[in-house]
């Protein structure tokens, strides 16, 4: 069954170009779009930056190698790519849960001092409290926009909520956060 490309997202059209023509420019565009978002996703999930970068490379390599398996009738490109990423993260968690034959020494390097760590922890705590005071819809879209690095349009497509409503929730939620965090600075 042919796919009507006008109804597809730009990323889905690019993934189809990779799948059908092995289009390197389309792959580069997908990489530029998804790599920073996936890295942020993995870092927020508890991975270090180098590990997150390694997983992103693996996810994007999988995208290139297995693009023939992509079916736009079943999912948009973003959903398909995030599913690959989720599976890689689960694989990593399972692998890290296994005991290592020998413990390796941790790298010694410059570590932040205790005051910096305490200040960051306090700021994170204040932000978490302020986010907790938002209503569920506002908190959800703000987390997706700023922590998930999704555009307003992507959030709308993902949730089925109209774009204007997404923008309003983000605007109102940010105003409330500003109010809650005003005393910090």
Could you say which of 68, 97, 126 is where a domain stops? 97
82 and 148 co-located in one domain:
no
What residues make up the domain containing 13?
A: 7-97
134 and 167 co-located in one domain:
yes
Closest-CA residue to 31 (of 56, 67, 66, 65): 56
Least confident of 29-33, 119-123, 178-182: 119-123
Q: Residue 29 above 80 pLDDT?
A: yes
Least confident of 19-33, 82-96, 106-120, 145-159: 106-120
When divided into structural domains, the chain yields a total of 2
85 and 59 co-located in one domain:
yes
- 30-85: pLDDT as tens digits: 999 999 999 988 888 788 888 889 899 999 999 999 999 999 888 888 889 988 98
How far is it, in rounded angstroms, from Cα 99 to Cα 26? 40
Average pLDDT over every residue of 84-106: 71
Q: Residue 1 above 50 pLDDT?
A: no
- Per-residue pLDDT at 97: 67
144 and 177 co-located in one domain:
yes
Average per-residue pLDDT for the chain: 83
- Per-residue pLDDT at 20: 94
How far is it, in rounded angstroms, from Cα 56 to Cα 47? 11
How far is it, in rounded angstroms, from Cα 184 to Cα 163? 32
How far is it, in rounded angstroms, from Cα 33 to Cα 27? 10
- Per-residue pLDDT at 68: 92
Average pLDDT over every residue of 73-101: 81
93 and 129 co-located in one domain:
no
What CATH number does residue 21 fall under?
1.10.1740.10
Q: Is residue 109 part of a domain?
A: no
89 and 121 co-located in one domain:
no
Q: Which residues of 96-107 are buried (b: 16+ CB within 10 A; e: fewer)?
A: eeeeeeeeeeee
Closest-CA residue to 145 (of 169, 179, 175): 169
Ramachandran sector of residue 162 (left: φ over 0; alpha: ψ -120 to 50; beta: rest): beta
């Amino acid at each position: 069954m042919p796919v009507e490309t006008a109804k597809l997202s730009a990323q889905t059209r690019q993934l189809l170009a990779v799948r059908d023509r092995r289009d390197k420019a389309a792959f580069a565009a997908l990489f530029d779009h998804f790599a920073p978002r996936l890295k942020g996703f993995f870092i927020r999930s508890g991975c270090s930056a180098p590990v997150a970068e390694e997983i992103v490379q693996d996810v994007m390599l999988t995208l290139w190698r297995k693009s023939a398996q992509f079916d736009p009738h079943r999912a948009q490109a973003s959903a398909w790519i995030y599913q690959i990423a989720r599976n890689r993260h689960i694989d990593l968690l399972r692998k890290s849960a296994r005991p290592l034959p020998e413990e390796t020494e941790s790298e010694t390097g410059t570590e932040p001092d205790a005051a910096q760590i305490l200040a960051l922890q306090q700021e994170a705590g204040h932000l978490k409290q302020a986010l907790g005071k938002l209503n569920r819809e506002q908190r959800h879209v703000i987390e997706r926009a700023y922590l998930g690095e999704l555009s307003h349009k992507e959030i709308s497509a993902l949730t089925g909520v109209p774009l204007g409503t997404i923008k309003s929730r983000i605007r109102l939620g940010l105003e409330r956060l500003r109010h809650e965090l005003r005393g910090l600075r």
